[in-house]
Chains A and B, each alone.
Chain A
Amino acid sequence: MMVVRSTSMEKVIWHVRSLLPQLESTPITLARRQVGNHVIGLGTLGYLYTALSSVLETLVEAGKMANDLRLKDYTVVMGPEESYITTTPLPEVIPPLPPPREVPPLPKQSVELNTFGCPNLTLGMVKFCVGDVEIAYYLSR
């Protein structure tokens, strides 16, 4: 259950939106283990990702709807089953969210050609070098 006042909408939307890439860049499941009737995903962030995505979607849609209805002061109540907008000012219920942090960019793939000891590459040839001698053959086309 989450209750968000219109005044905090922008802030919460921004916060949740900035948390999603962090979850996205984390491996979803490392292993699954059954404990009694429960399947526990070790390292699982999938449920959290789904929950936060749905919170974000609801908040954005609620904001649009409130705008369409020309509501200035409102409260969005998000429950497990359904969500609604009310003009009654309700106290906010926002779970503590981790502070957003920069997601380090994925390392670029680097391509290194093996020149097999040669100081350069020759178009159309495969070669390797021993000292000043190049042993080469043409690539078939």
Chain B
Amino acid sequence: MRTLQKKRVAELPVSQQIKDVLIKVLGPNEEVYVEVVGGRIRVIL
């Protein structure tokens, strides 16, 4: 069962460093999908 969550870039549960880059590239309000695959976080743009 695959669980995709829609999240704003600013709310992503990833380290600040990575988030900062994504905010710069996409903007804080851009919505992306997040899923957890084998203990890893996958951010789908």
Contacts and interface: CB of A to CB of B under 8 A. Distances in A.
B40 A132 contact: yes
Contacts of A42: none
Interface residues of A, number: 12
A35 interface: no
A130 B18 contact: yes
What is the predominant secondary structure among interface residues of chain A facing chain B? strand
Contacts of B43: 133-136
Q: How big is chain B's contact interface, by range?
A: 10 to 19
A132 B39 contact: yes
A133 B44 contact: no
Given A134-B42, A135-B45, A137-B44, 17 more contacts: A127-B42, A129-B40, A130-B18, A131-B15, A132-B39, A132-B41, A133-B14, A133-B15, A133-B18, A133-B43, A134-B37, A134-B43, A135-B18, A135-B22, A136-B45, A137-B45, A138-B44
The 3 tightest CB contacts between A and B, nearest first, are: A134-B42, A137-B45, A133-B14
